[in-house]
Structure 1
Amino acid sequence: MTTKQDLVMFYSEFNKIKDFDLAEEKIDRFINTLKAALKENERIVFRGFGVFEVKETTERMIVDPKDSTNIIHAKPRKYIKFKISKNLQDSLCLGEE
């Protein structure tokens, strides 16, 4: 598992940025921009990388695992789905086993 700090370290080394705080600021700016864009648009396409999409679960009734006679009302909620592009998938050799 890679943490945000690991990503910042990799980003700073890959782009030869000596100031760790500057690298972290750039990563934070990208993440905040992506969040803001997903609030305005439900679909963001990065050609050759993938697609971020805002999806919503349906409203449904579920059985309480503690008491099977109790039915819980589950409200719809939004989540983000990412679909990797074929080019990126091929370059990472994912899906080949």
Structure 2
Amino acid sequence: MTTKKDLIIFYSELNKIKDFDESERRIERFINTLSEALKLNDKIAFMNFGTFEVKETKERDIVDPKDSTNIIHAEPRKYVKFKGSKFLELR
């Protein structure tokens, strides 16, 4: 699993940026921009990269794993799903 710090280091090395804080600001700015855009639109597509889409879980009752007799009501929640383009090449 890659952490945000690993992503910032990779971005710095890939773009030959010596200032770690500058790389961190750029990554943070991109994440914030993507987050704000997803608040306005439920779907954002990057050509030849993939699609970010806001999905919502259904309201449901689930069994408490600690005590199987206890039923917990789960409210619907939103999450972001990413689907990579068929042109996205992973190595």
TM-score between the two structures when normalised by the length of structure 2? 0.89
The structure whose residues are more often helix, as a share, is 1
| Separation (CA, whole Å) in 1 of partners of 2:45 and 2:38 | 11
Greater Rg over alpha carbons, structure = 1
Secondary structure in 2 matching 1:87: coil
Structure 1, gaps ≥5 residues long = none
Q: Which has the larger displacement, 32-41 or 57-66?
A: 57-66
Residue matched to 1:28: 28
How much has 1:30 moved relative to structure 2? 0.4
Show CA shifts across 1:63-82 (max 9, x none).
22233332221111111111
TM-score between the two structures when normalised by the length of structure 1? 0.84
Query: How high is the sequence identity, in percent, across the aligned residues?
Result: 71
Residue matched to 1:4: 4
How much has 1:47 moved relative to structure 2? 0.9
Number of residue pairs the alignment of both structures matches: 91
Q: 1:16 to 1:66 in 2, by over 3 A?
A: closer
4+ long deviations beyond 4 Å: none
Q: 1:65 to 1:9 in 2, by over 3 A?
A: closer
How much has 1:62 moved relative to structure 2? 1.4
Q: 1:20 to 1:69 in 2, by over 3 A?
A: closer
Q: Cα RMSD (Å) of the superposition?
A: 1.4
